[in-house]
Amino acid sequence: MTLRVVLDEGSNDLSPEKILAELEITNDPSRVGFVGAGQAGFKIIELITDMLDPHEYSSTRLLAANTDTKPFVSLIKSEGAKRPKHLDAWLGTIREGRFDLVQLGVRGTGAGGDTEFSAVAFEEKVSRIEKLTKDLNAVFIFGGEGGGTGTGVLPKAAALFKDKPEVAAFAIPIMPFTFEGDKRYKRATEGREAVAGQIAIITIYNQVIYAREKNKSENINAEIETVNRRIVLPLIETLTQLTLKTASTINRDLSDLRRVAQGREAYVASVAIGKEEQVKSAVQRLLHDDAQDIGIVRRSGEAIVIFQGPFSREDVGTATDIIRETMKKENPDQEISLTPGFDQGGEERKLYFICSSQNLGGPKVEWATVEEKKQTEMRNAEELREIQTCENLTLEDLKGPYHKSIEVPQQGGKERLEVSENFFRFWNYFFREHHGWPIEKQREKWVLIHQYLAGHMAHVIPMPPANLRFTEEDLRRSPEEERLRKKGLGGLIPRIRR
């Protein structure tokens, strides 16, 4: 039987689309989404707009969600070398529903470390986010842990795919540097665990790369950018190979990736093999990516390895033997599923690898130097003393000469005010710490702030954090009044006010 018999009688249309339709063969490309939450997540989406051409990867979708809109504005207004290579093409896909930048919250000034605010703001925009991420085959959700937006949004975004086994869903939490302090790292660890309870995670440890970077710069921003690119660019390349190039790869499809996504924690890596390099040494590098927990490989049960370029049968056997042996190190009796794939394109040889484990490993920390560890410990002790001091400050303590200045958010914008040194400390303490307090404590401390400002600058009406709501009566109360109310002695309040 010829193809013409299959087609409608008299039809001369032998286009691939017509043939596939007549044979009832689905021609549906892999729909893959990349989602970035917070500043770290946004930077990754920005990198992808430089790496991937939306015309070549026509089934890919990008979305960044952030409480701070300044990065969005800077990206859209960027020019010259600072403008991502394919940004204009991506902006051209907005009406197709393939690209979106989502502002979380109404202010656009960031979350200030408030994870609850970010989570609520995400819920308010969830229908818009679901519109872009619907009917995906695979999704990768990036976000920095330890701050307000990424830590608050990642669990909410992951929950969208928790009960969708048909989607290969991974969250990529990026852990903070140790110089950001123990408190931030603790918050990051808690955030990471919250995400791991939803979908598989691929944890990226910035600090490990930073600690082992030999050519350290005087410019910390340049160092962070270098670390991010060293980690993120190979990761994006590997995820692209695993999802968007399945059609050109022998012996693998997205169902293999979905099986890997059933684990709790995953490890992803890639290596380029030099002309004179032995496959054995390349595989060892593949399984020892400093930016991740290599223990995942030793306790994993599902894995995919892709051989791109010309590999001999002997090379493939050597590589798969080493990988299987490594996966069995912690549990020799464990059943291993290792799916190889072969992409013959190009002369350069590369290996791409992903595996997952049902066990969640603990976060790891590595110090750059002994001196850095000492400085961080001293900074943490100083921060603790500062908290203890601010905890006990009263309205009288906040008064004093104006030696500092702050920006106070109001309905009409911001106003810079001169304040006392103690109030300056208390103001920063409140916005750094309040998101972890009970709501009663947040209200009590904010009333103190309001009373100070009202007593010294009567025209100033500061806007409280989004999760706090006050009536005029609330703001008139002093901490002493609150204590009397709690004790059932509210009748004494008029005497205090007189």
Looking at residue 495, its pLDDT comes to: 40
pLDDT digits (tens, 9 = 90+) for 411-449: 666 777 788 888 888 888 787 776 667 777 777 888 888
> In terms of domains, do 136 and 222 share one?
yes
Q: Is residue 113 part of a domain?
A: yes
CB atoms under 10 Å from CB of 479, counted, come to 14
Q: Is residue 193 part of a domain?
A: yes
Inter-residue contact 52 to 87 (CB < 8 Å): no
Inter-residue contact 140 to 35 (CB < 8 Å): yes
Taking residues 276-286, what's their average pLDDT?
Answer: 90
> In terms of domains, do 113 and 129 share one?
yes
> In terms of domains, do 22 and 44 share one?
no
Q: Is residue 387 part of a domain?
A: no
Separation between Cα atoms, residue 341 and residue 254, nearest integer Å: 12
Domain boundary among 198, 213, 244: 244
End-to-end CA distance of the chain: 102
Separation between Cα atoms, residue 426 and residue 428, nearest integer Å: 6
Taking residues 447-457, what's their average pLDDT?
Answer: 76
Separation between Cα atoms, residue 119 and residue 104, nearest integer Å: 9
Model confidence at 406, in pLDDT bands (50, 70, 90)? confident
Q: Is residue 381 part of a domain?
A: no
Q: Is residue 112 part of a domain?
A: yes
Model confidence at 224, in pLDDT bands (50, 70, 90)? low
Separation between Cα atoms, residue 147 and residue 195, nearest integer Å: 15
Inter-residue contact 448 to 395 (CB < 8 Å): yes
> In terms of domains, do 158 and 128 share one?
yes
Q: Quick check: 211 pLDDT over 50?
A: yes
pLDDT digits (tens, 9 = 90+) for 252-273: 678 888 889 998 899 999 999 9
Domain boundary among 190, 212, 244: 244
Taking residues 468-493, what's their average pLDDT?
Answer: 50
Q: Quick check: 20 pLDDT over 60?
A: yes
> In terms of domains, do 84 and 206 share one?
yes
pLDDT digits (tens, 9 = 90+) for 63-99: 999 999 999 999 999 999 999 999 999 999 999 999 9
> In terms of domains, do 274 and 351 share one?
yes
Separation between Cα atoms, residue 51 and residue 84, nearest integer Å: 8
> In terms of domains, do 38 and 182 share one?
yes
CATH no. for residue 239? 3.40.50.1440
Bigger pLDDT: 62 vs 478:
62
Sort strands 168-175 and 200-201 into parallel, antiparallel or unpaired.
parallel
Q: Which helix (H) or strand (E) holds 143?
A: strand 138-144
CA geometry: angle 254, 257, 262, nearest 5 deg: 130
> In terms of domains, do 205 and 349 share one?
no
Q: How many residues in total does the chain contain?
A: 498
Q: Is residue 403 part of a domain?
A: yes
Q: In sequence order, what are the residues at sequence separation of 6 or more whose Cβ sits closer than 8 angstroms to the Cβ of residue 92?
A: 54
- CA–CA distance from 349 to each of 102, 188, 277, 343, 359 (Å)? 39, 37, 10, 10, 32
Strands (E) in 196-249, as ranges, are 200-201, 204-205
Looking at residue 494, its pLDDT comes to: 40
Count of helices and strands (H, E) across the chain? 22, 13
> In terms of domains, do 346 and 404 share one?
no
Separation between Cα atoms, residue 139 and residue 165, nearest integer Å: 12
What average pLDDT does the structure give for the chain? Answer: 80
Helix, strand or coil for residue 87? helix
Model confidence at 1, in pLDDT bands (50, 70, 90)? very low
Looking at residue 365, its pLDDT comes to: 59
Looking at residue 473, its pLDDT comes to: 54
Domain boundary among 310, 336, 360: 360
> In terms of domains, do 89 and 197 share one?
yes
Q: Is residue 286 part of a domain?
A: yes
> In terms of domains, do 194 and 89 share one?
yes
Q: Is residue 121 part of a domain?
A: yes
CATH no. for residue 336? 3.30.1330.20
Model confidence at 459, in pLDDT bands (50, 70, 90)? low
Residue closest to 65 by CA, chosen among 171, 149, 136, 185: 149
Number of folded domains in the chain? 4
Task: Report the range out of 15-29, 38-52, 172-186, 449-463 with the highest average pLDDT.
Answer: 38-52
Residue 23: which domain range? 1-27
Q: In sequence order, what are the residues at sequence separation of 6 or more whose Cβ sits closer than 8 angstroms to the Cβ of residue 135?
A: 31
Read off the amino acid at residue 262.
Q
> In terms of domains, do 84 and 200 share one?
yes
Read off the amino acid at residue 389.
T
pLDDT digits (tens, 9 = 90+) for 116-158: 889 999 999 999 999 999 889 999 999 999 888 999 999 999 9
